[in-house]
Chains A and B, each alone.
Chain A
């Protein structure tokens, strides 16, 4: 029997940036392959070092992304509905998870197992291409943003004002 779609995630999934650009047929081909994952605040959705290659789509709620450095960690992203997470290990299963993702509110995620993507590839299904192109665009934007942020932080780091720079960047964004 073919798996059926969890109705709680159908509409939120269709409106995520990842799927919104796909035609109806491609959406339908992807939707039933997702599983729903309700979560509570404090739940660890992804743990750095784990070997798991599922892709997550955040549908409701918020999650924090932490990068680890020794026994310390730093908040590098706050994810909101529509965000994709887990793309590194999803597209390169040989790599363990590279950061912690911790829910900061109750919410709902949709999970796409890597095996489902392998099936799409084997079928040469257009949904595989749509998924790849959507993730490519999202990751490219993050790459640009990350390098810009890093350059600014390095600039300030040399003059010892990292925190001041974070505040200044925020205030600049607030300016008209």
Chain B
């Protein structure tokens, strides 16, 4: 079952059966009930997850301490990848929305595969993690745009508007926007 789930993930679809089998052998399965906390913001990010069945909420606390749902993820997808890149803490909490089945692997083991694994295994693995993060970035960006429309700070736009090269009217000082938004490419 693990290899089938992994084969359905973008980035891993092109991986050969041997590579998928090797990766699948590193995961173990786990189940969570509706509402159960899978991982907690601020806790050590020591596990990488693949959502095999179901839906989870990504919840994050703002500086005021209020917790918000910033994304909903549906199977199949990776989550919890922050700990694979470095030894760090969770940047968000994940809660099951309905019954959930997961595959999980220690972040340390995932780091070893990424850094020293055979190319046929490590390269698709890295690619799949990139794709997973890009998909979640795209979702977050769409949410930001939607909030901006609700708050009446989005601009009207029509095809061809950019070709005249005019400077955009800004709701904030140029430098303010730059400092707030720098680094948010997800295209």
Contact = CB atoms under 8 A, between A and B. Distances in A.
Interface stretch (A4-12, A19-27, A30-38, A133-141): A133-141
A40 interface: yes
A87 interface: yes
Contacts of A137: 85
Interface string B140-181: 111111111111011111100011111110011100111111
Nearest to A42: B165
Interface of B: 10-11, 58, 60-64, 66, 68, 70-71, 81-82, 85, 91-92, 114, 119-120, 122-123, 126-127, 129-131, 133-138, 140-151, 153-158, 162-168, 171-173, 176-187
- Contact count band on A: 35 or more
Contacts, number: 234
Contacts of A46: 187
A60 interface: no
A41 B64 CA distance: 39
A157 B149 CA distance: 11
Contacts of B172: 166-167, 170
Contact of B60 (A102, A128, A147): A147
Contacts of A155: 62-64, 66, 68
9 contacts: A67-B144, A77-B185, A78-B177, A146-B144, A153-B144, A155-B64, A157-B150, A163-B171, A170-B180
